[in-house]
Amino acid sequence: MSPETVLDNSQATFNPQQFDQYVMSTYGRFPIAIAQGKGCTLWDTDGKSYLDLVAGIATCTLGHAHPTLIKAVTEQIQKLHHVSNLYYIPEQGELAQWLVEHSCADRAFFCNSGAEANEAAIKLARKYAHTVRGIENPVILTAHSSFHGRTLATITATGQPKYQKNFEPLVPGFAYVPYNDITALENAIAQYSEQGIAAILIEPLQGEGGVCPGDLDYFLRLRKICDETGILLIFDEVQVGVGRSGKYWGYENLGVEPDIFTSAKGLAGGIPMGAMLCKEFCQVFTGGDHASTFGGNPLVCRTALAVLQTLEAEDILSNVIARGEQIRKHLRAIAQQFPDTFTEVRGWGLINGLQIHSETDLTSITIVKEAMTQGLLVAPAGPKVLRFVPPLIISAAEVEAGMETLKTVIESVHN
């Protein structure tokens, strides 16, 4: 498809001065503005096309302008889009049932983002610690290099000081352990057991922290410790869930089930939505304990159902597994071709990372910018990891084309 035939230029106006004057400068933005998308292709306001291996950061599950998404949003907004949780919302019940039937959870709570989903999980774990286990001053353990969101509680949960700096005082009741380190975990359990540990909140695969999959042995040990002590195991599935790992949920790659897990990003394919799910035994919320004005409204629930039913009906997980293997094969070849520049390829399904050698001056941003120039969108995951999280519907031909461009990009930044 050539951009001329697809791009609707009538709406493609962009005024960077206006933007920079009126929008708060919280982001380091790349100097392009995307005007339109179709499938895995995006066009900027100048009509230049890009292959999208970012998907709005692991969010546009079905890519852009997917007919099923368009139909769901259009039909639902014509019927009813929002009424508040003062009333029963049938679409919410239907979505909760789908999620429960396709996961280890028994119940769902709906909100609007990953941070909010984690906030809900933190509140539920604290209430469980207080009311069921009689812990007065509960601690939640999280991992170094984790990412759980930008609210005060979730930046505190996030084990990366750069997200916390200048926002102190942080929320009390959090302590940190290195990821995938069993000895350190056992030491922390011993250290905080007298005070009382409410929960361990952890990603099955660390996304923002550099695309680091969890170790099987570590997660088995985590589950065993939680079973023995009554500590709740919470998985943050915000980035790796909803099919991205090649299974519906990241934890299915580790052979352990959480007591609570959170979802957002890809859940409604790019329409803002978050969810917190849990097993029945720890569902201690009662009327008035937690709420959200927008959470689980008819529009987002209908959209999420369309995304999830499409994943299932079209067996998109098979595509995720096949395209993921294809990407990793190419990334390994690139890493072998440039052994001084890249050290490792990591990932599951369609969340993959290419680790840049710590000894080189090259950063992920340099590669991301050059790729953008050559019509390829990839995302950094920290300064030394390139992240590949395309729409789950990406085709084999698109992966080939993207990896071909990536090789050219790397050759041009290499010297």
Ligand X SMILES: *Cc1c(COP(=O)(O)O)cnc(C)c1O
Pick out residues in 288-327 that bind ligand X (CB under 6 A).
Answer: none
Decide whether 133 or 144 has the Cβ nearer to ligand X: 144
Is 236 considered catalytic here? Answer: yes
Handedness of CA 22, 25, 26, 31 (dihedral sign): positive
Decide whether 239 or 245 has the Cβ nearer to ligand X: 239
Decide whether 114 or 258 has the Cβ nearer to ligand X: 114
Q: Give the active site residue among 127, 236, 261, 388.
A: 236
Between CA 279 and CA 108 the distance in angstroms is 9
Decide whether 43 or 109 has the Cβ nearer to ligand X: 109
By CB under 6 A, how many residues form the interface with ligand X? 15
Q: Compute the least distance from the CB of residue 274 to ligand X, in Å.
A: 6
Decide whether 115 or 368 has the Cβ nearer to ligand X: 115
Pick out residues in 128-167 that bind ligand X (CB under 6 A).
Answer: 147-149
Q: Compute the least distance from the CB of residue 166 to ligand X, in Å.
A: 19
Residue 402 interacts with ligand X (CB under 6 A): yes or no? no
Q: Compute the least distance from the CB of residue 170 to ligand X, in Å.
A: 17
Give the contact letters, 198-217, x = binds to ligand X (CB under 6 A), - = no. Answer: -----x---xx---------
By CB under 6 A, name the one of 44, 119, 236, 259 that touches ligand X: 236
Residue 223 interacts with ligand X (CB under 6 A): yes or no? no
Decide whether 208 or 259 has the Cβ nearer to ligand X: 208
Q: Which residues sit opposite 65 in a β-bridge?
A: none
Q: Compute the least distance from the CB of residue 240 to ligand X, in Å.
A: 7
Pick out residues in 93-122 that bind ligand X (CB under 6 A).
Answer: 113-115, 118
By CB under 6 A, name the one of 72, 108, 111, 238 that touches ligand X: 238
Residue with smallest beta-carbon separation from ligand X: 114
Decide whether 45 or 156 has the Cβ nearer to ligand X: 156
Q: Compute the least distance from the CB of residue 333 to ligand X, in Å.
A: 28
Q: Give the active site residue among 109, 110, 147, 285.
A: 147
Q: Compute the least distance from the CB of residue 249 to ligand X, in Å.
A: 13
- Which residues, 6 or more positions from 256, have their beta carbon under 8 angstroms from its beta carbon? 219, 220, 222, 223, 233
Integer CA distances (angstroms), 277 to 14, 97, 104, 258, 407, in order: 40, 11, 9, 10, 41
Q: What does the H/E/C string look like for the chain? A: CCHHHHCCHHHCCCCHHHHHHHCCCCCCCCCCCEEEEEECEEEECCCCEEEECCHHHHCCCCCECCHHHHHHHHHHHHHCCCCCCCCCCHHHHHHHHHHHHCCCCCEEEEECCHHHHHHHHHHHHHHHHHHCCCCCCCEEEEEECCCCCCCHHHHHHCECHHHCCCCCCCCCCEEEECCCCHHHHHHHHHHHCCCCEEEEEECCEECCCCCEECCHHHHHHHHHHHHHHCCEEEEECCCCCCCCCCCCCHHHHCCCCCCEEEECHHHHECECCEEEEECHHHCCCCCCCCCCCCCCCHHHHHHHHHHHHHHHHCCHHHHHHHHHHHHHHHHHHHHHHCCCCEEEEEEECCEEEEEECCCCCCCHHHHHHHHHHCCEECEECCCCEEEECCCCCCCHHHHHHHHHHHHHHHHHHHC
Pick out residues in 354-393 that bind ligand X (CB under 6 A).
Answer: none
With contacts defined by CB under 6 A, name the span among 231-239, 241-249, 251-259, 331-339 that binds ligand X: 231-239
Active site residues: 147, 236, 265
Q: Which residues bind ligand X (CB under 6 A)?
A: 113-115, 118, 147-149, 203, 207-208, 236, 238-239, 264-265
